[in-house]
Structure 1
Amino acid sequence: MFNAAIKAVDLVLNVSLSRRTVLCSIRHYCKKSPKKLRVSEALEGSNVGSNITVEGWVRSVRSQKDNLFVHVNDGSCLQPLQIVASSELNDALLTFGSAVEVSGCLKQSPSRKQPVELLADRINVVGGCDTLEFPFKIKERHGLDYVRQYPHMRCRTNVFSSMMRIRSAASSAVHSHFTERGFIQIHTPVITSNDCEGAGELFQVEPSGQMTEPDKNFFSVPAFLTVSGQLHLEVMSGAFSHVYTFGPTFRAENSQSRRHLAEFYMVEAELAFTQSLEDLTKAVVEAMLKKSFTVISYTEAIDILNRSSHKFVFPTTWGCDLQTEHEKFLVRHCGNLPVFVTDYPYDLKPFYARDNKDRPLHTAAAVDLLVPGVGELCGGSLREDRLDLLTARLAQAGMESTYDWYLDLRRFGSTPHGGFGMGFERYLQCILGVDNIKDVIPFPRFSHSCQL
């Protein structure tokens, strides 16, 4: 390191200095230069007595006759570091929200409110903050509805920064869970040519510039932003048995509700050699909930709804899709515990769901998980692995040629298999009790709103 520093000095200054002179200068600087720490490292207390430098944003300023008290945080933790300085270091630019660099000696604090404090001998305001225009005020408590109006600034509030820390920890926990159980992570594509869900809620992908052949598709076929990585996971489960993906998915739903987004993250897993819905539901619980739950069939759910005295907006006849009001009622009916609803009508589920062959009801081996406060959290199914039944259903829908590659998966070494997908933002809503899904994602995307 010292040799490189000597060469750098020679090159920049274009002077010839003795090796001994430069070496002594560098050692002297390294000995005297304060150690740069993050606020979280300073608060640990292991550097008490050392000269340090911290950088961050001012959370509060309190000036007395002789002393100046400043709280600084750099986002490495929730607790700020208290800065104590002479009032002579006060600066008109030193305000709430300003970015600063502070150097001084780290000491144990005489107050129980914080373990250490920094006795500053230098405060440099790196970037000032216009407190009159700044949307968040130091002594005001701002609700989530208010801070949502400022997507570029809300990360500076305690409540939203706490949300993002939890989101980060939950994301790491998802990866750890699957890795520890031998799952292989697959980076499924964001751009795809298939509509996995068959609902038609797709964003089509097209180049913004002029193409040399304007009547041709860029990919030679229509391409879309993915609604699910499931079909690609099925491909990979034929080689790795247990696979998962965790990434962005997109739905062109014209919804302004508290539980829908146009862009959100999905945790999806696919398991080969899975032959029953019971195995699949156990996998979901082990992965995400780790608590007791109730299992009812779709037919039982419809019966519960029809026997209740509640007046529903949407119909509750057998064969109808369960709406949010139905889902929330079923959760309450079952004691506000997670509820697995199994064996949905065959016609309600996509082409890949396994036919239970239970005439006359005709249901599919599909399951939805309903949770308190949210409704549907995730859905899954056993996949149709019988080539003749899958071929017939695709032919009926006029999609046989489009999904010929999918039929190949059944022709060459197919196994009974199944999988599930869980909306990550809804999961965060569930565990945190957050009412609006837009408050658990950094930059929400929904109809008529794409800020930043």
Structure 2
Amino acid sequence: MFPAVTRAFLLSSMTPVCRSGVTVRRYCMKNPTKLRVSEAFLDAQVGEKVRIQGWVRSFRPQKQNLFLHVNDGSSLKSLQVIAPAAMNDPLLGFGCAVEVRGILKKSPHSKQPVELEAEQIWVIGECNPVDFPFKIKERHSLEYIRQFLHLRCRTNAFSSLLRIRSEATAAVHSYFKNNGFLLVHTPTITSNDCEGAGELFQVEVGQGISWFWSFFSVPVYLTVSGQLHLEVMSGAFPRVYTFGPTFRAENSQSRRHLAEFFMVEAEISFTESIEDLTKVWKIGSTGFTNCTKQKNLITYTEAIDILKRSSETFTFPTDWGCDLMTEHEKFLVKHCGNIPVFVTDYPHDLKPFYARDNQDHPKHTAAAVDLLVPGVGELSGGSLREERLDLLRSRLGECGLEDTYSWYLDLRRFGSVPHGGFGLGFERYLQCILGVDNIKDVIPFPRFSHSCLL
């Protein structure tokens, strides 16, 4: 391999010249402009000598010419390269990495604005198309390419998903910045269980070592949410958010669960309104509308009534006090016209200790809200936080957590204000806007029970 590649690179204009033991490189030689494939399609460099680097997506040798399509990940479209048949090389083929230099010209074909007339082609990294799991003329399903996590970024489908994921990430940050939110990097390692569900990955040092001999001297876990850390910051900043990985030790291999995923979380101070939270859910240009204006903000009680009136068969009774399952969430979205729906005022006992008590006995609800969307079900969940010290202390006492969360009580003792927040699952958001059925296909390296490849 290496002799062939080295031979291809021996150009007189690039070869170092050795004189009296001193190596002289000809930096004065003008190199062709390096372009990304996406830049080549802008036509700005037409007629000029350029060079591109990328991977061969198709290779068609003919009697007089070679036709290659080269892609570098910057665009879904590949750049067509035309070269004399004399430039053919045994290493040149589908999947290999190349550098091509030549003249960028207008294409006579309507399907492509430009093409590259090659003067030199180097194979940087060879690829055996017989062994390569993706074939040149086959359309591969997402389920098939998921078997090759280390190679699936080479496919058009998954590379497009990654570009969209990148743009969506930038849009989220842009939205929060433009709306006055402060970005806070919350910790990945934490000593609290924010959700209270016990689905935690515990961090240990070494094997078989008791927690009190561990590195931190207290039990620590991978975070399930950055919410409590944002609540700390909301005591000094009116609007804060975080965007990072979270971890849930759920023994699930469903199409909507991961052990590691990304969460967008925000906290807003000086608010006593669920509607203030739902307005913030209009993130970037997601296409979601403010459902409160469309009167799709329904209470938990109304949701139960809708389910009871339906002819759907569910796996458990939809009575007051029972949580909503995925099938219920999807039915409610369908019932409301297949648009995003906010469900509010859940039974108080279903929500964690920090959810604000509505004190509406006998129903006894919490000021909590979930966003349900088509195809996915629950996309986001949030609540107003309990800022009243006496009620919060009573709730923590009932749960036996008053000593553990003494610092949380301090937040209420020293300048507390009414506040609330939410967390949005980024992968579920991508599932929703892209119509992707399986959450494992919208994250580069999915982690779930019994699977942690790479």
Give the TM-score band, short-chain normalised.
Answer: over 0.9
CA distance in 2, matches of 1:340, 1:367: 6
1:108-257 matched pairs, under 5 angstroms:
108-208=106-206, 216-257=213-254
Deviates more, 1:327-336 or 1:47-56: 47-56
Residue in 2 that maps onto 1:52: 50
CA distance in 1, matches of 2:85, 2:250: 56
Deviation at 1:35, TM superposition (A): 2.2
The 3-state SS of whatever aligns with 1:172 is: helix
Deviation at 1:43, TM superposition (A): 2.1
Deviation at 1:132, TM superposition (A): 1.2
CA distance in 1, matches of 2:443, 2:122: 34
The 3-state SS of whatever aligns with 2:235 is: helix
Deviation at 1:85, TM superposition (A): 0.7
1:258 aligns with 2:255: yes
For these two proteins, the number of residue pairs brought into alignment is 434
Give the letter for the 1:130 counterpart: N
1:279 aligns with 2:276: yes
The 3-state SS of whatever aligns with 2:281 is: helix
1:427 aligns with 2:425: no
Pick from 304, 307, 313 the counterpart of residue 306 of structure 2: 304
Higher helix share: 1
Give the letter for the 1:51 counterpart: K
Could you say if the C-alpha distance between residues 215 and 345 of structure 1 is closer, same or farther in structure 2, counting changes exceeding 3 Å? closer
Q: What do the CA deviations read for 1:78-124 (whole angstroms, capped 9, x no partner)?
A: 11111111101011111110111111122221212211111111111
Q: Percent identity?
A: 69
Deviates more, 1:59-68 or 1:222-231: 59-68
1:414 aligns with 2:416: yes
Aligned partners of 1:314 and 1:323 also within 8 Å: no
Deviation at 1:154, TM superposition (A): 0.7
The 3-state SS of whatever aligns with 2:158 is: helix
CA distance in 2, matches of 1:291, 1:270: 20
Aligned partners of 1:381 and 1:418 also within 8 Å: yes
Give the letter for the 2:148 counterpart: Y
Residue in 2 that maps onto 1:352: 354
Q: Which blocks of at least 5 consecutive residues in structure 2 are unaligned? A: 1-15
Residue in 2 that maps onto 1:443: 445
Deviation at 1:214, TM superposition (A): 8.2
Aligned partners of 2:267 and 2:421 also within 8 Å: yes
Residue in 2 that maps onto 1:5: none
Pick from 95, 98, 106 the counterpart of residue 96 of structure 2: 98
Residue in 2 that maps onto 1:378: 380
Give the letter for the 1:325 counterpart: E
The 3-state SS of whatever aligns with 1:274 is: coil
Aligned partners of 1:292 and 1:337 also within 8 Å: no
The 3-state SS of whatever aligns with 2:234 is: helix
Residue in 2 that maps onto 1:4: none
Deviates more, 1:108-117 or 1:189-198: 108-117
The 3-state SS of whatever aligns with 1:170 is: helix
1:291 aligns with 2:289: yes
Aligned partners of 2:430 and 2:442 also within 8 Å: yes
Q: Normalising to structure 2: TM-score of the pair?
A: 0.92
Give the letter for the 2:177 counterpart: T
CA distance in 2, matches of 1:302, 1:325: 13
Aligned partners of 1:99 and 1:125 also within 8 Å: yes
The 3-state SS of whatever aligns with 1:100 is: strand
CA distance in 2, matches of 1:153, 1:237: 43
Q: Normalising to structure 1: TM-score of the pair?
A: 0.92
Deviation at 1:77, TM superposition (A): 1.2
Q: CA RMSD in A?
A: 1.9
The 3-state SS of whatever aligns with 1:240 is: coil
Residue in 2 that maps onto 1:363: 365
